[in-house]
Amino acid sequence: MIFKKYIVIDGNPILFGSNLIHAEVAGEKRKSVESAGFVYLEYTEGNLEVICMGESTSLKIASRGEIDASLIYSLLN
């Protein structure tokens, strides 16, 4: 299982390491962030499972769960 943070800007997910802060990754695009949180990625028998949850305290914005998971799944598949 892989654990990362993510933000979504203009419908595009950006995944990054958990050692970074959401607001720092968003930078000047902070006001364009649609959602942010944490993502778990698991590859099982060639299938990708994506689970999004939580929120960014630095941006004060939450994950959209299944909506974000679908965007990230499409990005990685």
* Tens digits of residue pLDDT in 25-73: 999 999 999 999 999 999 998 899 999 999 999 999 999 999 999 999 9
- In this model, does residue 77 exceed pLDDT 90? no
Instruction: Write a three-state SS string for 34-51.
Output: EEEEEEEEEEECCEEEEE
Q: What is the pTM of this model?
A: 0.93
How many folded domains does the chain comprise?
Answer: 1
pLDDT of residue 30: 92
d(CA 22, CA 9): 12
Cβ atoms of 5 and 38 closer than 8 Å: yes
d(CA 56, CA 77): 25
Instruction: For residue 60, give its domain range.
Output: 2-76
pLDDT of residue 6: 98
pLDDT of residue 1: 84
- Token pair of 55, please? 């929120």
